[in-house]
Every structure is written in C-alpha cells, then in structure tokens.
Structure 1
Amino acid sequence: MAENFRKSYRFAYLSSLYITIVLTLALSVFLFIQSQLDFLFLLAFAVGCYAVCFIVVQYRVERFIYRRVRRIYDDIEMLEVDKVSDGPVTTDMRTLIKEVEKFAQQRKTEIETLKIREAYRKEFMGNVSHELKTPLFTVQGYILTLLDGAMNERKILEKYLNRASKGVERLIYIVNDLDMITKLETGDLNLNYVNFDIVELVQSVFDLYEMKASKKNIALAFDMNYQDPIMVHADKERIQQVLSNLVVNSIKYGKEDGTTEVSIEDLIRNKVIVRVTDNGEGIAQAHIPRLFERFYRVDKSGSRKEGGSGLGLAIVKHIIEAHHERIYVESDYRVGSEFSFTLEKVKKFPVIDVGAKTA
C-alpha cells in the first residue's frame, strides 16, 4: 500500500516538500531577523504549508495532466487490449510509459504476424488459382473445340471427351484434397480409432502401388522380415492415406532402379515409429521448413509434370497431428529422404492362466 502511494503521488509530495522547505526557510530568516523565532510556530507552519501545497499541487496535476493521461489509457483500451490498470491514473509516469511500451510491442508483433499471413495468403491464392486454372483451361479447350464442329467426327469426339474427363477428375481430386485439409485444420474431420496391424497395412499399400513402382523399377520393401503383427491404435483409413502419400512421393521423386524401404521400430513403451526411406533425389535443407505447406513444391516444373495436387504432405502432417502424434523428415540432397511418424501401440495385457493353482 505504501509503495503504491509513493508511486501514485511521488510528483505531488516531492513538489510539496520542496515548496515547504523553501517557504519555511524564508519564514525562519524573517522571524530570526525580527527576533521572534518560535520553534513550535515554525513547525506548525511547516506542517500546514506542506498539507496545503500537497492538495494544491495534486489538484493541479489531476486537472491539467490527468485528463491527457486518461485519454491515452482510453485510446489503448479502445483498441481491445488488456486492461492497462484497474486503479485510477495519477501522476505515475513510469508506469504509464511501461504500459504504452508494452502496448506498442504487442501491436508491432501483431503487425509482423499479419504481414507474414498476408504474404502466405497471396502465395496460397496464387497456387490455388494455378492448380485449378490448368485443368479448367484444358477442359474448356476440348469442349470449345468440340462445339466448333469437331464433335461431328466420332473418333475426335471420343478422344476429346476422354481428355476432358481426365481434366475434370483432376479438378475433383484437388477440390477433395482442399476439402479434407480444411476439415483437418478446423477439426471437423472425425477419426475412427481402431486396433490394426501396421505391418499388414504397409503391405497393402505396397501391393496397391507395385505397378506404379515397377515403371521406374523401384523396389518396395520392408527393412526386415516382420514375423509377428505390430498392433497400433489409430484411424486405419487415414493412416493408409498417410502411407500412400509417402510411398507415392518416394516413387515420384525416386531414381530409376531405386528402393523405397519401410521400417517399424519401437520408440518408447507405448509408441512405434514408422519410417519411409528412399534413395531418390533428396531435398535441400532450405526447403525442409516449408515442406508441409499447402501447394509448396521443391521443384515446381518437375512436380507439375508428375501430377498431384500439391497438398499431399500437408494432409499427411494434419492427419498425424490430428492423432496427437509427430512427423519428422530427414533428407540429404541427391542422397535420399526419410519421412517418419509415430503411432500409439495397442497396450498388451498380461495373460492370466485361470487354471493355475496358487501354492
């Protein structure tokens, strides 16, 4: 309480003290000269002078300075920041300066964040328009050609309709991925947790993309022969999507006669880590921090030739994080890449032999 008083009225009581000392000394000299020096009268005059000066100075400060200080506080509060002070504003300039500096720093941080978001938004909108523009113009070109008279020739009609259909399929693919990533980011996608064998799921993904890998003579394999199942607790369909995206990427960016290898290791007592490793192009370190951004491509020209929506890794990241797990990436340029993610293991309960007899 005393500390608050000293801070709040420091200006007033110091000013009053200085005025009192000056006036008391002046009166002392006057009384001494008149040879009527009375100590009690002098003390009473000093106390009374101090009280009067304090009231006058504080009143003047509150009337002429307080209004301006209060206006600054009100301006800050109008901008919906935290309350500056619960008590009245008095003559404590240091507290006000600290609060204003804090307010300015918060605004500076918010402005920098908004600039980053604005840059990201512009880049994202540019990527979305580019991804949608290509198939849209393709479909439009084929349809306009048919409407201009090519539809009368059956062979051209069938060929162009098939190409237009592929363009529409690509549009649907992009829109579905956008819809999924939006649901993942907003938390609207519900996960269906079940217990399943992760080894079996990886094998099914291998079987699914075996033909795609064979076109580049890439071998899909485990790092070892897993004899026993490894049971995990997660959304099986979403984890299959994660594995599919990672395996497809390893094939897409893998080199001819390369290998895509999957390993499953115990991480801690209730976790396993699944690693998808390839010996393909690899990724430069400068790209890794942005690798899981929507539509971000390391090699824009090569990536677009290979197809895809540009959302695969972003979806992978959101699915894993929706499971409250972690995803990691390690890569050496022109050596290969490794993507890994954690999953929760199914808890094993000890088997109790009911027929066993206790001693």
Structure 2
Amino acid sequence: MQKRLKKTYKFAIKTSLYITLFLTLLSSVFLYVLHSINIAYIVSFALITYILSFIIIQYRVERFIYRRVKKIYDDLTLLESTSLSKQPITTDMATLTEEIDKYARDKKLEIETLKVREEYRKEFLGNVSHELKTPLFTVQGYLLTLLDGAIDDKNVSEKYLNRANKGLERLIYIVKDLDMITKLEVGDLSLNLETFNIVELVQSVFDLLEMKASKKKITLMFDMDYNSPVYVNADKERIQQVLTNLIVNSIKYGREKGTTEVSIENLIKNKVIIRVTDNGEGISDTNLPRLFERFFRVDKSGSRKEGGSGLGLSIVKHIIEAHEEKIYVESELDVGSEFSFTLEKAK
C-alpha cells in the first residue's frame, strides 16, 4: 500500500461523509418532528451509515476503475509484450497516466527510429542499385556491340573486351567490399593480430600510391623523420587497408601540387594516434555526420569519376572499431581534412 492514501480512498471518504451528513440531518429532522430525538441513535445511525457508504462506494469505484484500466492494459499487451504487462494493475490514475506516457514516449521513439532506418534502407538499396547497374550496363553495352559484328574487327574487339573486363573488375571490387563490410558488421571477420612497425607500413603505402599521387603532383610525406620504429599490435593487412583508403581519399580530393602528411604520435601510455592530413577541398559540416555511411559521397559526380566503391570510409570505420579503437575526422572547407585513428602500442 502506498504511504499516502489512495485517491480512490479520499474520494470514498469524502463521499461517504457527505452521504452520512445528509442522511443524519434528514433523520434528525424526522425525529425532531416526532419529538423523540435520541443522541445515541443519531450517532449510531451516522457511524453505520458512514461505514456502509464507504465500503459500497470504495468497492464500486475500485471495480469501475479496475475494469477500465484492465482494458487499457489488455489493449497495450495486444500491441506488444512490455514491462507494463509484467506489473500489477494499478487503479491509481497518476501512476497509470505516468506508465501510459512512458509507453507512448517509448513507442514514439521506436517509430521514429524505424522511420530513420527505413529511409536509410531505401537510400542504401538505391545506392547499391546505382553502383552495380553502371558497370553492368557498361559491360553489357560492349558485349552487345561485339555480338552485333564488332568482334570481327580485331582492334575494336580487343579494345571493347578490355573495357568490359574493367567493368567486371569494378563489379568484383564493389561485391568484395560489400562482402567485407557485411562480415565486419556481423563480427564474422576475425583479426590476425601481430606486432609490426607502423612507420614501415605507412612508407610501404606511400610507395604503393606514389604513381597515383604524382598524377596530381601531390607529395606524400611524414610530418618528421621517424628514425626509430613505432611498434603497434593490430591486424597488419587491415591497417594497411585503412591507411590505403585514407591516403587514396586524400589524393582523390586533394589539391593539385598539394600534400598528404602522416604523423604518428604517442597518445597515452599504451596508445598511438595516426593522423592523415591533407590540404584539399575539405568537407562541409553538414556532410561530416554521414561521412562513414555506406555509399555516401561528398561530391557524387566527382567521386564517381575517380572510381571506388563508395564503401572505403565505412570499411575503415568498421576495421578500426573491430580493433576496439576510435577514428576521428576534422575538416574545413577549402582548408583540408584530417583523419586520425588510435592503435594499441606494442609492449
């Protein structure tokens, strides 16, 4: 029982008091007319009337409210099994109102979340469809041209077959990335943790992308000379993929004759932070929150010309999170961007 009187008890007490006063006064008037007022009789009558009135009113009110409240509980239980159905049914209207309000707020939040997910699903399916149909139609166009007779011309057939092969390579690239990100999201991709020199790995990525950077006259560089190795404990192959994706993006969106700089700093005792900084076009504040979404592109037209699956940053984020580490991004339009992520320092 609650510490304070139930509101239904207060109602029954007051109502019983009113009925008692009314009936007592009525009986007093009646006895006065008969000239035979008996105080003991009046008090007994008032007491009995009060007790009986309280019991009847309280019972009726409890049953009246209970039936309607139970119907509300039953209706809510039909919608979904919630904590509401696990609690005893209360007839206190304040408690009931609080529970119903909480249920309504939870449902509103759930509906809004489902709407956001539905929008994301539609956008994701649209993006997948767009990414896949472009190389598919390209390959189909070249093959149909060959079937229409161009295959007899050796020069044309060889050129078209090479272009069709590039379209298929792009399809395979997209499907592989989709497969990887799916495995990362469900935790199905195991990490092969090992100790390696992160400075050496960055340099190998620089060597790998040197030709790509030279086309835009972009310089790949460290922020300083790292004469001593910096050992980290991580999946070397996956971290190479992270560095490659970040540096490729810095080249893709970098200014001609610009720079891409990598720095490695001690963050805390057992952590290092790797920063990839460029002086490219930068990213607007409106695009930053969605930057790691699958297929999200800051500049859709420009990035498609550059190629890629549109999954690079999403894969980067999942790989870093699979290591139970953090990735950060800071950017300013027309100034540049900085992507940074943490790794466990080897003992």
Q: Same fold (TM over 0.5)?
A: yes
Provide the rounded CA distance (Å) in 2 between the counterparts of 1:54 and 1:84: 31
Measured in 2, the distance between the counterparts of 1:24 and 1:193 equals 90
| Residues 325 and 29 of structure 1, relative CA distance in 2, 3 Å threshold | farther
1:53: Cα distance to partner? 1.7
Give 1:24 shift: 3.1
Change (3 A) 1:233 1:23: farther
SS at match of 1:155: helix
Give the Å deviation of 1:178.
0.9
Would the aligned equivalents of 2:135 and 2:171 in 1 still touch at CA under 8 Å?
Answer: yes
**1:178 counterpart = 2:178:** yes
Cα distance, 1:48 vs. partner?
Answer: 2.3
Q: Hey, what does 2:332 align to over in structure 1?
A: 332
Match of 2:107 in 1: 107
1:15 paired residue number: 15
Q: Aligned letter for 2:270?
A: N
What secondary structure sits across from 1:113 in the alignment?
helix
Residue of structure 1 equivalent to 2:142? 142
Q: 1:299 corresponds to which residue? A: 299
Q: Distance in 2 between matches of 1:98 and 1:76?
A: 14
Q: Is the 8 A contact 1:262 1:275 kept in 2?
A: yes
Amino acid at match of 1:239: I
- In the other structure, the counterpart of 2:54 is 54
Change over 3 Å in CA distance of 1:57–1:300 after alignment to 2: same
Look up the match of 2:283: 283
The offset of 1:7, in angstroms, is: 4.5
Q: Which amino acid aligns with 2:271?
A: K
For 2:159 and 2:2, locate their aligned partners in 1 and report how far apart those are by CA, in whole Å: 90
1:50–1:207 CA distance, 2 compared to 1 (3 A): same
SS of corresponding position for 1:229: coil
Give the residue type in structure 2 aligned to 1:83. Answer: L
Contact 2:84 2:99 in 1 (8 A): no
Gaps of 5+ in 1: 348-359
User: In the TM superposition, what are the counterparts of 1:203-282 in structure 2 within 5 Å?
Assistant: 203-282=203-282
Change in CA separation of 1:2 and 1:129 when aligned onto 2, cut-off 3 Å: closer
Please give the per-residue CA displacement for 1:98-125, whole angstroms capped at 9, x wherever unaligned: 2222222122111211221121111111
Gaps of 5+ in 2: none
In structure 1, what is the Cα distance between the partners aligned to 2:25 and 2:245? Answer: 89
| Correspondence for 2:317 | 317
> CA, structure 1 residues 234+17, in 2 after alignment: closer, same or farther (shift >3 Å)?
farther
Distance 1:21 1:321 in 2: 75
Amino acid at match of 1:238: R
- Say what the alpha-carbon RMSD is for the aligned residues: 2.0
Letter in 2 for 1:267: L
Cα distance in structure 1, aligned partners of 2:90 and 2:174:
57
- Determine the structure 2 residue equivalent to 1:45: 45
Q: How far 1:307 sits from its partner (Å)?
A: 0.5
Worse-matched range after superposition: 16-25 or 203-212:
16-25
Instruction: Determine the structure 2 residue equivalent to 1:87.
Output: 88
Name the TM-score, length of structure 2 as normaliser. 0.93
- Cα 1:16–1:327 shift into 2, 3 Å: same
CA distance in 1, matches of 2:288, 2:2: 57
Q: 1:82–1:200: structure 2 CA closer, same or farther, 3 Å change rule?
A: same
CA drift of 1:160 comes to 1.3
Provide the secondary structure at the position in 2 that maps to 1:3. coil
User: Number of residues paired by the alignment?
Assistant: 346
Change (3 A) 1:146 1:232: same
Correspondence 1:121 to 2:137: no
Taking a change above 3 Å as real, the CA distance of residues 88 and 46 of structure 1, as seen in their structure-2 partners, is farther
Indicate if the aligned counterparts of 2:224 and 2:263 stay in contact, CA closer than 8 A. Answer: yes
The 8 Å contact of residues 231 and 346 in structure 1, kept in 2 or not, is answered as yes
Q: CA deviation at 1:27?
A: 3.3
1:50-77: CA deviations, max 9, x gaps? Answer: 3322332233334444322211111112
CA contact (8 A) 1:317 1:327 kept: yes
CA contact (8 A) 2:8 2:62 kept: no
Which residue is equivalent to 2:96?
96
Q: TM-score, normalised by structure 1?
A: 0.90
CA contact (8 A) 1:84 1:99 kept: no
Tell me what 2:76 maps to: 76
SS at match of 2:175: helix
What SS is found at the alignment partner of 2:265? strand
The one-letter amino acid of 1:170's match is R
Separation of aligned partners in 1, 2:22 and 2:205: 93
**Amino-acid identity (%):** 68
**Which of 76-85 and 22-31 deviates more?**
22-31
**Distance apart, 1:212 and its partner CA:** 1.0
The one-letter code of the counterpart of 2:67 is R
